[in-house]
């Protein structure tokens, strides 16, 4: 998962892009970059690390110009080395072009092998570079035409912001896997993966970039954004896991507020998987909080913050090293003994992936005095890997892909374990945002061919 931000025609384009990336840091913590232009020259800065650390020592002042695009990354394809950090850049018959991409091409490896066999030289192991090469080979002299020709050849998820000296072009794949929004800041057009970026910079959300839509903003004549739909329509497959885990709860994604969707998932979970002997509902912070509130409301059981999270530790799901992930449980989550001691508690989390973190947490809660620990998960069992931009583990590492709920309950040491049903998840998401979601990580029903 990545974050992308674009600012067109604003005197503080790079500063605003930085702030937008800061608001979207949760979508990628391995590195960040910004590319800007003053219409004549192009300026770039990319580094590994958090946004606030990457853009120190006067780097923003060197990113001149009134247009900029930015990117935060965590690895979906390719390693986390600096060559894979976005936005990527190229120079070809198109002139210089920079591109920021959120998503994943399911045929990226196939295209890399094919292009290398034809003489292409890759600087990264990032599937975004496939798009760059296909654009350079397109024979087109226009940014939009080159981008369209390249994207019509690939398959997968892409929300993209591309820029050259003349234009900023955004495009979203026809299935709409990943969110992308357009906003307005005092007459300047802005784009971002989530509208929390707009909140921080003071922009107003105009609308969602529609699945299959391309929007072009001229950087020369300050014209209004121009919309087109160059791709054949396809059935929508918006990523439902954006609601479950990835998006910020204060964001509006796919037309609905994430916090409200998660609360409703918790209410549905309370109906499907009650815990009648429980005295207290507690969340696994932070992403489990809204669902726990909903569960408590639905079950009419008191809610409390029985676990405190240290905010100086990264999100365990997207840390690249297993050793860091395991060590981070005690470092990150600590029970409130006075709240849980002697009680039967319902612990609500958004998902259960490998089970190792939950197992350690259950033991931690019992050591702190909990009498019974009921685990409730506000999504179905994750049984399949995602190939559209979320770095879920390989299928053999997903505990629910090969083990029953009862086995998992015993493994994590809980008194009971209950998941939200796939039907309950999709009914809730569809009721709040309309139909058209990808749930392949729960069902194995992928909306594209996997190459």
Please identify every residue annotated as catalytic.
Answer: 2
Q: Residue 21 in contact with residue 70, Cβ under 8 Å?
A: yes
CB neighbours (10 Å) of residue 280?
Answer: 18
Q: Is the peptide bond before 172 cis (omega within 30 degrees of 0)?
A: no
User: Which of 152, 106, 150 lies closest to 127, judged by CA?
Assistant: 106
Task: Give start and end residues of each alpha helix (H) in 29-164.
Answer: 51-54, 108-117, 128-136, 143-151
For residue 92, which phi and psi values (nearest 5 degrees)?
-150, -160
Q: How many residues does the chain have?
A: 451
For 379, what's the count of Cα atoms within 13 Å in the CB-facing half-sphere? 27
Residue 63 CA to residue 14 CA, distance in Å, equals 6
What residues contact residue 321 under an 8 Å CB cut-off, 6+ apart?
Answer: none
Torsion angle of C-alpha atoms 6, 180, 251, 378, degrees rounded to 10: -140
């Amino acid at each position: 998962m990545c974050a992308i931000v674009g600012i067109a025609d604003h005197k503080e384009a790079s500063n605003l892009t930085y702030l937008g990336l800061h608001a979207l840091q949760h979508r990628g913590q391995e590195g960040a970059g910004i590319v800007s232009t003053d219409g004549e020259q192009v300026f770039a800065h990319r580094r590994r690390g958090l946004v606030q650390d990457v853009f120190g020592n006067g780097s923003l002042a060197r990113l001149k110009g009134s247009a900029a695009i930015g990117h935060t990354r965590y690895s979906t394809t390719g390693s986390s080395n600096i060559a894979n950090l976005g936005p990527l850049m190229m120079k070809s018959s198109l002139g210089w072009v920079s591109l920021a991409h959120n998503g994943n091409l399911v045929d990226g490896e196939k295209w890399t092998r094919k292009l290398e066999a034809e003489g292409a030289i890759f600087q990264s192991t990032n599937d975004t570079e496939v798009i760059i090469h296909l654009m350079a080979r397109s024979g087109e002299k226009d940014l939009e035409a080159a981008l369209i020709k390249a994207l019509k050849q690939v398959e997968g998820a892409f929300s993209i912001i591309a820029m050259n000296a003349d234009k900023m072009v955004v495009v979203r794949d026809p299935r709409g896997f990943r969110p992308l929004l357009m906003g307005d800041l005092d007459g300047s057009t802005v784009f971002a993966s989530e509208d929390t970026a707009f909140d921080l910079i003071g922009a107003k959300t105009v609308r969602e970039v529609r699945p299959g839509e391309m929007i072009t903003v001229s950087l020369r004549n300050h014209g209004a954004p121009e919309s087109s739909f160059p791709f054949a329509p396809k059935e929508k497959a918006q990523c439902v896991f954006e609601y479950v885990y990835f998006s910020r709860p204060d964001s509006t994604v796919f037309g609905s507020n994430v916090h409200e969707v998660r609360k409703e998932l918790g209410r549905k979970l309370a109906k499907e998987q009650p815990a009648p002997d429980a005295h207290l509902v507690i969340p696994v912070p932070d992403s489990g909080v809204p669902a726990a509130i909903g569960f408590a409301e639905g079950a009419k059981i008191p809610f409390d913050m029985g676990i405190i999270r240290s905010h100086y530790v990264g999100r365990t799901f997207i840390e690249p090293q297993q050793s860091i992930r395991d060590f981070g449980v005690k470092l990150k989550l600590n029970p409130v003994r006075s709240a849980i001691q002697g009680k039967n508690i319902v612990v609500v989390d958004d998902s259960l992936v490998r089970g190792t973190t939950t197992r350690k947490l259950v033991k931690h809660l019992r050591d702190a005095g909990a009498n019974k620990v009921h685990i409730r998960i506000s999504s179905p069992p994750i049984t399949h890997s995602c190939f559209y931009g979320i770095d879920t583990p390989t299928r053999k590492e997903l505990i629910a892909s090969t083990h029953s709920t009862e086995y998992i309950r015993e493994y994590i040491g809980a008194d009971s374990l209950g998941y939200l049903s796939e039907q309950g998840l999709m009914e809730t998401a569809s009721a709040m945002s309309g139909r058209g979601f990808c749930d392949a990580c729960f069902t194995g029903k992928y909306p594209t061919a996997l190459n």
